[in-house]
Structure 1
C-alpha cells in the first residue's frame, strides 16, 4: 500500500489554502476593520471558519514530515526542509515587502530591518513583526521540525510513537493548567494536529494497533478542546459567534478524510494528478494576505466586490504558480545540490 505517492494530500493542501484565503478575503480583513476596506457578506458566515485550513495543514505536515524522517537520516531531513521552506519564502517575503513599500501606506508599512530579520526566520524569536501575518504558522512548523530533528539526531525516530503519546499527555496537561511557557515550547495549541497526522502515517505505513487508534481518539479530543477555546477567544475580536458543533464537525471531517486516505479508500481520487495544485499551495499561502488587502483598499469601492475578490484570488493563484515554476523550483534545485555537496565535503574532511 505505501509505495504509492499520496496525490490526495496535494488536493487537501490546496483546499486548506483556499480555506485560509477566503477566511482572510471574505471575513477577517474587514471583520476587525484593521486590514481591508471591503466587506464580503455573501461568504462571511462560511469563510469565518476558513482559518481551520491551517489546522489541516498541520495534520498534513505531521504525516508528510514523519514520512520524510522515516529514512532516519538527519542530513537528508535537514536538506529537504531547508529546500522546501526557504526559496518560496524568500521570494514571497521580498515581493510582499516591495509591494508594501509601493502601495501599502498609510495602512501598512515595512522597513528594511524588519525585512532582513524576516528573511532569517528569526523574527518570532527576537520580537520583530512579520512582513505578513501568515508567517506565524511557519514558526510553529519549524518548532515541529526541530522536535523531529532532535529524535533523528539521537537516532530515536523509531521511538516516535511513545514520543507522540508523551507529547500529547504533556500538551493536554499544559492546556488544562495553562502552563504558558510549556504551551509555547511544545506548541500545544496545535500539537494534536501534528500528532494525528503522524499517527495516520504510522497506520498507513505499519497498520492499525489499539495504541494508534487510542492516540487518534485522544488527539481528536485535544484538537476539539483547543479549537473551541481558540474560537471563544476570537469571538469578541471579530464580533461574531462560532458554532462549537461546526468546529468539531470540521475537525472530525479532517480525521475521517485521513482515515479514508490511509485505508486506501481514495485511490481513485489519488490517480488524478493533483501535484500542480499542491505545488502552488505554499507560495499562495505566503503571498495572498497582505497583497490582497492592499489591492482591495486601492480598488474598492470603485471595482465591483465580486470581481475584485475572485479576480484577486485568481491573480494570487496565477502568481503563485509562476513563482513556483519559474523561481522556487530552480532555486530549490540549486540549493539541494549545493547543500548536498557541502555535506559531502564536510564528511570527506
Structure 2
C-alpha cells in the first residue's frame, strides 16, 4: 500500500524553527551577555525552552532519513543529502558573511578563509569557527547521515531495527559512563531523538511491535536524561533556572505527537498543505540568528523592541521564502544533475 505524504511533518518543521527563532531573539541573544543588546522580558521565560526545537528537528530527521534510505541506494542517498544540505546553506552562509562584514563589527567578525571553509560544511571537523552558531546542528546531522551511509554501503539497512536497539543500548552506557570518543562518533547526546524518529517510521510503515515500543520507551528515557544533563549545563551559562518537569513534558509531547502521526491519527491536519512552511524552514534556521542579533544591536533602543523582534522575525521568514524559491530550488536542481552525471561517469 502506498503511504500518504505526511504534510504534518512540514508543519512540525516550521514550529520547531519558530521555537528556535524565539529562543534566540527573546532569550539567548541578551541572556548570553555578548550576542544582542536587546532584552525581551515579556517572552524570555517561556522562550528559554525554545532550544528544544532542535531536538524536534532531530526526531523529524530520524523519521525522514530512514524513509529516504529505505528506498534508495548509497549513491542516491548521498545525492539527496547533498542536494538537501548545500544549496540553501551556501546562500545563507554567504548572506550572513556579507552582512557580518557590513554591520557586524566590532561585536562580530569573520574572515574570508573562515567563510570558504564554512562553505564546505566541514568547518567543525577542521576546528574552524562557524559563521553562525546554529550550524552546530548540521554537523550532528552529518554524523547521523554517515551512520546511515555505513548501513547502506554494507546493505544492512533492512536490519535497521537491530542496529537501533544496539545504538540505544550503547548510547545509554556511553552517557552513563562518559566514554568520550564513542560519545562523539555515535552522537549519543542526541541519538535518542534519531532513534525515536526512525522507530516511528517503522511503526508508520510496518506497525507497532513490542521491540518498537521498547525502543520508544528507552529513547524517551534517554532523551529526558540527556536533556536534564544539558539543562544543568545551560544553567551554568545563562542566568536562569530550567524547570526539569517542563523540559521532560515537552519531550514527551514530541513523542506523543509522533505516535499520533505514525498511527495515522493526524490525517485531518495532514490534509492541509503545509509544504510552503516546511520548505522555508531550513533557510530560516540558517539565516535568522546572527543577522537578527546584528539588526537588534544597530536598531535598539531607537526602535521599539516589539516592532524590532516581530518585524525581524517576519523579515527572516520572508527572506527565507525568497531564498527557497529563487535560489535553493534552482541550485538544487542543477546540483542534482551535476552529481548524478558525475557519479555515473565515475562508475563508468
Q: Which residue of 2 aligns with 1:338?
A: 338
Give aligned pairs, total: 348
Q: Which residue of 2 aligns with 1:108?
A: 108
Q: By how many angstroms is 1:342 displaced?
A: 1.8
Please give the alpha-carbon distance, in whole angstroms, between the structure 2 residues aligned to 1:110 and 1:346: 37
Q: Which residue of 2 aligns with 1:209?
A: 209
Q: Deviations over 1:6-56 (max 9, x none)?
A: 000000000000000000000000002110000000000000000000000
Q: By how many angstroms is 1:2 displaced?
A: 5.3
Please give the alpha-carbon distance, in whole angstroms, between the structure 1 residues aligned to 2:296 and 2:346: 50
- Checking the alignment, whether the CA contact within 8 Å between 1:2 and 1:205 is kept in structure 2 is no
Q: By how many angstroms is 1:337 displaced?
A: 1.3
Decide whether aligned partners of structure 1 residues 20 and 2 sit closer, same or farther in structure 2, where only a CA change above 3 A counts: farther
Please give the alpha-carbon distance, in whole angstroms, between the structure 2 residues aligned to 1:220 and 1:135: 25
Q: Which stretch shows the higher mean deviation, 157-166 or 289-298?
A: 157-166
Q: By how many angstroms is 1:263 displaced?
A: 0.8
> RMSD in angstroms over aligned alpha carbons?
0.8
Please give the alpha-carbon distance, in whole angstroms, between the structure 2 residues aligned to 1:136 and 1:49: 18
Please give the alpha-carbon distance, in whole angstroms, between the structure 2 residues aligned to 1:87 and 1:344: 21
Please give the alpha-carbon distance, in whole angstroms, between the structure 2 residues aligned to 1:176 and 1:110: 38
- Checking the alignment, whether the CA contact within 8 Å between 1:89 and 1:286 is kept in structure 2 is yes
Q: Deviations over 1:100-144 (max 9, x none)?
A: 000000100000010011011111111100000000000000000
Q: Which residue of 1 aligns with 2:278?
A: 278
Q: Which residue of 2 aligns with 1:79?
A: 79
Q: Which stretch shows the higher mean deviation, 15-24 or 64-73?
A: 64-73
Please give the alpha-carbon distance, in whole angstroms, between the structure 1 residues aligned to 2:175 and 2:344: 44
Question: 1:212-227, aligned counterparts within 5 Å?
Answer: 212-227=212-227
Please give the alpha-carbon distance, in whole angstroms, between the structure 1 residues aligned to 2:32 and 2:86: 31
**1:95 paired to 2:95:** yes
Q: Which residue of 2 aligns with 1:193?
A: 193
Please give the alpha-carbon distance, in whole angstroms, between the structure 2 residues aligned to 1:232 and 1:112: 36
Q: Which stretch shows the higher mean deviation, 139-148 or 329-338?
A: 329-338
Q: By how many angstroms is 1:205 displaced?
A: 0.7
**1:168 paired to 2:168:** yes
Q: Which residue of 2 aligns with 1:287?
A: 287
**1:232 paired to 2:217:** no
Q: By how many angstroms is 1:343 displaced?
A: 2.1
Please give the alpha-carbon distance, in whole angstroms, between the structure 2 residues aligned to 1:72 and 1:17: 28
Q: Which residue of 2 aligns with 1:259?
A: 259
TM-score by length of 2: 0.99
**1:125 counterpart SS class:** coil
Gaps of 5+ in 2: none
Gaps of 5+ in 1: none
Q: Which residue of 1 aligns with 2:135?
A: 135
Q: By how many angstroms is 1:344 displaced?
A: 2.3
**2:332 counterpart SS class:** helix
Q: By how many angstroms is 1:72 displaced?
A: 4.2
Please give the alpha-carbon distance, in whole angstroms, between the structure 1 residues aligned to 2:338 and 2:179: 42
Please give the alpha-carbon distance, in whole angstroms, between the structure 2 residues aligned to 1:166 and 1:251: 22
Q: Deviations over 1:238-291 (max 9, x none)?
A: 110000110000000000000010111100110100000000000000000000
Q: Which residue of 1 aligns with 2:177?
A: 177
Runs of 4+ in 1 over 6 A off after TM superposition: none
- Checking the alignment, whether the CA contact within 8 Å between 1:2 and 1:204 is kept in structure 2 is no
Q: By how many angstroms is 1:182 displaced?
A: 1.1
**1:25 counterpart SS class:** helix
Q: By how many angstroms is 1:345 displaced?
A: 2.5
Please give the alpha-carbon distance, in whole angstroms, between the structure 1 residues aligned to 2:237 and 2:75: 43
Please give the alpha-carbon distance, in whole angstroms, between the structure 1 residues aligned to 2:285 and 2:18: 8
